[in-house]
A = this chain, B = another copy of it.
Amino acid sequence: MNRVWTAALVVIGDEILSGRTEEKNIAQVANWLNRQGVRLAEARVVPDVLEAIVDAVNALRPVHDYVFTTGGIGPTHDDITVDSIAAAFGVPVVVHPQARLVLEDYYRGRPGGLTEARLRMARVPEGAELIPNPTSGAPGVRMGNVYILAGVPNIARSMLEGLEGKLEGGSPIVSVTVRAHVAESDVALLLKEVQDEHPGVSIGSYPFYGGGKFGADFVVRSEDADLAEGCARVLRDRLKAADFEVVSG
């Protein structure tokens, strides 16, 4: 079995904790990490408070291969992610010369040009590298194993695209879904038996209601595609043998 690569995500923003804004980055970061062969092992949502960000990042960066953050990298007073990551690493904040050039170019000809507020977006912890961002002027930032992304989901996505294939990882996790019109509670024992017979595979059970029928999706996941497929086949056969209606998978 290959070594498992893990990451944690720190979602930064009062707007998530106040309920104003639905969280949208956990799922997209998780799916992107899966494709890089890295497992999202945990996520935390913290407020726009320096100590809270520092505590979360410093708790997570020694125990995971990668830490991603989203949010708090805009030009306003509540955007304190760069300052917080610098504090977490114990380094000063500096203006990154290349980020400054990117912003000068981006704001050339726009009213006001590169104002002091806009220049805030070129600030990085000393020693950091930039993550290119084709969508808007402000780049993302990598500091050690911490990747600082935007909070706006489509800008975060564009930064992830810029990082595609650049992270070291293991095998992508393969998932096979078996959908059946069953009550979870009728197959709980069957599921556990099938999982216990297949080490290296996990089976998740997710009930749904749709088209006037109750059912459940059984998601079989493994780093080994053959194991996942084999386990899904056994599960499917076992469900059919017990006269349950398997819809797909």
A-to-B contact residues, CB < 8 Å: 14-24, 26-31, 33-34, 39-48, 52, 74-78, 111-112, 115-118, 120-121, 152, 173, 175, 184-189, 191-192, 195, 202-207, 219, 221
Contact = CB atoms under 8 A, between A and B. Distances in A.
A185 B175 CA distance: 43
B117 A188 contact: yes
B188 A14 contact: no
5 contacts: A19-B30, A19-B31, A20-B219, A42-B45, A74-B185
B189 A116 contact: yes
A136 to B, nearest CB: 10
B44 A42 contact: yes
Contacts of A47: 41-42
A39 B31 CA distance: 30
Nearest to A103: B185
Nearest to A55: B42
Contacts of A21: 27, 206
B192 A77 contact: yes
A27 B204 CA distance: 24
Contact of A77 (B15, B19, B75, B188): B188
A152 to B, nearest CB: 7
Given A75-B188, A184-B76, A185-B118, A41 B20 contact: no
Of residues A74, A77, A184, A195, which shows the largest number of chain B Cβ atoms within 10 Å of its Cβ? A77
Contact of A46 (B42, B111, B112): B42
A189 B76 CA distance: 8
A237 to B, nearest CB: 19
A75 B26 contact: no
Given A19-B28, A44-B44, A74-B184, 17 more contacts: A14-B202, A14-B221, A16-B43, A18-B219, A19-B26, A19-B29, A19-B30, A20-B219, A21-B27, A43-B45, A76-B184, A76-B205, A77-B195, A115-B186, A117-B184, A117-B189, A152-B207
